[in-house]
Amino acid sequence: MDIKVVNGIESVVVENEFASAVISLLGGHIISFVPKGKKDVLWMSSKSAFVPGTAIRGGVPVCWPWFGDKAPELPKHGFVRNEMWYLRSHSDLPDGSSVVTLEITDKDVKFATPEFPFTLQMTFYIGKHLEMTLTAINDGDVPVTAPAALHTYFAVSDISDVKVYGLENVRFSNRVAGADPALQSESAPLAVDREIDRLYVDTAGTVTVTDAERTIRIEKCGSNTSVVWNPWIDKSAKLPEFDADGYLHMICVEALAAFDDTRVLHPGVPVSITQKISVEE
């Protein structure tokens, strides 16, 4: 493990017998996970600016302590993805895998005003698979609610070949249709041929994303809600720092603890959300 400057930002660079990874201290944000002999599992926009105070476009943004829009003057998906984190610990395990933990507290925040004192950690297990755990601790004296998400961008060869399995017959809200559309479900695996923004509820099961080259297996814990997102053509053109053809090569499957699934942070009690990603070819 080394600390190197990547895209102008100090980053933790991991290489072991199973995989390599790059974790930016900006946002506590993993931007690359490459299993040995395989392609990167994560999609990154070539237009992402990597400037403190601005979120990275791609990889796995950490959304906290809110998801989506809270107020016009506040950053979308919370403020911690815009801030600089620091390296808390790292270790190489006997089996050849690696563990890295980054941390940020309310005292480290420069680009926002925290509403309560907190300690936030992101722990990354880099091995045969990638496992990410976001842990929040309320350092105050009263309970608070804090939505959280791991907003994972997966790299795919061509979106026209993609199928998403594991959400068949799971109720979802189609957020493209408006703010509060009625819940619905579909019996077939999801194919993407238009803008997709779906909030799946009451689901903690495994999801797989398949394309012509591989299957990505996505497991989670601490989340009963999932988002599947692809901005498609028109929205891609309006998004900041998003490649014009980026929608062709990415899909987001996000582990969420938000909306009706928002967790309460009781003083001093850690609350975590985990996503585990493995690849089959």
Whether the Cβ atoms of residue 252 and residue 151 lie closer than 8 Å to each other: yes
Q: What is the DSSP string of 10-47?
A: EEEEEE-SSEEEEEETBTTEEEEEEETTS--SB-B-TT
The pair of three-digit structure tokens given for residue 241, joined into one six-digit string: 């720092």
Structure tokens of 181?
């559309």
Query: Are residues 167 and 207 in contact, defined by beta-carbon separation less than 8 angstroms?
Result: yes
Catalytic residues: 151, 254
**Helical residues (DSSP H) of the chain, grouped into ranges:** 232-238
Report d(CA 252, CA 273) in Å as an integer: 17
**Is the CB of residue 77 less than 8 Å from the CB of residue 55?**
yes
